Amino acid sequence: MTTTTEDVPLVHASLGERELAAVAEVFASGWPAGQGPKGKALEARLRQDHGVGDAVALSNCGAALHLAMLALGVEPGDEVIVADYTFPAPAHAVRYVGATPVFADVRGDTGTIDPRAVADLISARTVGVIAVDTVGLPADYAELTALADRHGLFVVEDAACAVGATYGGRPTGALAPVACLSFHGRKGASSGEGGALLAADPVIGAAARLRSSFGIGSIYDQARAAGLPIPSFTEIGHNYKLSDIAAAILLVQLDRVGELLERRSAAAAAYGLLLADEELLTLPHVPADRTHAWQSYLVTLDPRVDRSGLAAALRAQGIGCGHGTWACHVQPVFDTGRHCPVSADLFRRNLAIPMHAELRPDQIERVAEVLRTELRNNLRPN
């Protein structure tokens, strides 16, 4: 039995001296802004790691999703089917271009978009599907790709949580023709904020890169051209560039992805052993054809457990926890009247417990021990 009473945070970024040294190098270079040498090096690294035609470093994953919709030509009147159980960034991106997000329910065992639900939602207005690698677990891309090919739809992979995971031996970010990554503070590779768009077709990447910089391309490149080139604004773009400061941090983080994922995977395995026989919760399920990035560790509580009371009890003892992610269709901004029962159920019953690469074995033991006790202390009366 553990005796430590120190706080165990829900998340903790693994940033250290190597990342600080990389930032100092950028400061000395005189170019901290976007699309400079570090940004170009990061894009080259992402292209190499994922085997894609192009990679565009961006300010966040939401920007990547927005640019993906623009590059794929999504217009007002179109419908895009989106995974319901997720942070609602995909649905926001569809709304940004005036199209309609149509929420698809998810699998009860994985929380990823259910291909059968997608099939039932395809209409004459459907142009594509945004699948989500839910909290780090890849979706069913074989089925989704086959379905999309039959109906002439695009597939976008929202791999925001899944850097380092695999599906059928292939890395996330390369599981659909267009993929979007996040480098937010709780992701497997982090620069605090940041993202990227990966595209099999370099034409899509070039369109996204141009629109990420107000439609005029790299100021860094223009400043180094002979003479005085004056760019023309030919379309409305956005300021979605990733700073070279963040890009430098990410170049270090990408070197560490394997190490950090190994530590998170060890933490997940330890939770699995410590909680395997706990009847008041269900552990995460990882199908045999894929691996998990473990951005989060979600347990599904027995319906008898009062989740709010349990969370309050855990936090009172210094153990971080959260609700998991969102059932988008119940959010007021997306009130469409459609019901996704599996997603709604997971939204009510999932609980995130501490998961990050800095967790120690004694902390994991303490989380499991306190969780077991408080599950029973927070049962609803019959």
Distance of CA 130 to the CA centre of its chain: 12
DSSP 32-77: -SBSSHHHHHHHHHHHHHHT-SEEEEES-HHHHHHHHHHHTT--TT
**Which residues of the chain fall below pLDDT 50?**
1-3
Q: Which residues are catalytic?
A: 187
DSSP 319-379: B--B----BGGGSGGG--S---HHHHHHHHHEEEE--STT--HHHHHHHHHHHHHHHHHTB
Interior angle at CA 131, CA 263 and CA 152, nearest 5: 145
Residue 3's pLDDT is: 45
Residue 225's pLDDT is: 80
Q: How many CA atoms lie within 13 A of 373 on its CB side?
A: 9
Among 24, 26, 61, which residue's Cα sits nearest to residue 244? 26
| C-alpha distances in Å from residue 110, one per residue of 161, 273, 285, 290, 343 | 14, 19, 6, 11, 11
Domains in the chain, ordered, with CATH?
A: 17-254 (3.40.640.10), 257-377 (3.90.1150.10)
Interior angle at CA 324, CA 100 and CA 175, nearest 5: 60
Residue 235's pLDDT is: 83
Distance of CA 31 to the CA centre of its chain: 29
Rounded (10°) CA dihedral 12, 137, 167, 71: -90
For residue range 314-369, what is the model confidence (pLDDT) as tens digits? 999 999 999 999 999 999 999 888 899 999 999 999 999 999 999 999 999 999 99
Residue 337's pLDDT is: 84
Q: Could you tell me where the beta strands, DSSP code E, fall in 143-263? A: 154-158, 166-167, 170-171, 178-182, 195-199
Residue 256's pLDDT is: 98
